[in-house]
Each structure stands twice: as C-alpha cells, then as structure tokens.
Amino acid sequence: MGSGLKIPESVLVVIHTCAGLVLLLERADHPGYWQSVTGSLDAPDEPLRQTCQREVFEETGILAQPADFIDLQIMNHYEIYPQWRQRYPQGTTHNREHVFALCLPSTPEIVIAPAEHLGHQWLDFQAAAETCFSWTNVAAIRHCARLASAGGH
C-alpha cells in the first residue's frame, strides 16, 4: 500500500500433517494467544496463494509452492479487534479473510519469526481447535478435521 498500513484482506492457512497434527503459533504481541499462519495481502492485486506462500515462509520457514495450498472456499468477514485497528487505514473496522490449508507429509523444522511469534506447537485437530483464540481459526481447523476424516486432504 505504500503507507505502511495493512490491507484489510488476509489469508488464514491451517498447516497440518497427514497424521492429523496442526501447527499453532503463539503471538508475540499477545502471549497465550495461539493461531495458525495469518497475514494480509501486500498489495490489493497480490494473488491469494502467493500471500499464503509468503506468509507461511515468513512465519514458519516452510517453503511451499502456491499450488500446494488448498483453497477451502471459505471467506470470513469479521470485526478487527480495536487494539489492532491502528495498523489499518483510518476508519477500517472489518477484515476479509480467505481460508486455506497446507497438508504436509510430516512435521518439518519450524523457524518462527521472533518479532511475530514466541513459539510453536503441533496439536491434534481437536486440541488445536480448543487452543486457538480466533473463532475463524477454530472453524477452519474443524473444517480441515472433517475433510481429513473424509479423506479430502
């Protein structure tokens, strides 16, 4: 955007293994708040899968290809927490979030971005859903669990 402000459109990427372990990251700005990889588009025309690829690499060190990300065809529209609104253009109160999944064969080494996260953990689908603070993240993890149990990914 050029102004240093975030675009109110983002991706949420649920990273999980074929064995049903989900990667969660602890927010540096809110210790105790666990989430999947999230991030805003860098430009209004940035392709969503490219945003996924960039954010996953920045936050975890995992290098995946755009085609590796599964578009779950879920879009959430939610109110931005008041304490985070200063990151967006003045008057912005809502964000549009596109939900993706990344299924990995095993748990790779994770290299967190220390400015963004304090740590990481791998939990089964149920425990991951119970640990996340964001309702959209909880719903995305539960959706992935249903797909995985049905053999969808």
Q: Using alpha carbons, select from 143, 59, 148 the residue that is nearest to residue 103.
A: 148
Q: Nearest 5 degrees, angle CA 37-CA 29-CA 9?
A: 45
**Number of domains into which the chain is organized:** 1
pLDDT band (50, 70, 90) for residue 79: very high
Q: Report percent pLDDT > 70 for the chain.
A: 97
CATH number of the structural domain spanning residue 89: 3.90.79.10
Domain extent for 113: 9-149
Q: What pTM was computed for the model?
A: 0.93
Please indicate, yes or no, if residue 143 is contained in any of the structural domains: yes
Per-residue pLDDT tens over the stretch 10-32 = 999 999 999 999 999 999 989 99
Tokens of 103: 């299924």
Q: Indicate whether 3 belongs to any domain.
A: no
pLDDT category at 98 given cuts 50, 70, 90 is very high
* Radius of gyration over every alpha carbon of the chain, rounded to an integer in angstroms: 15
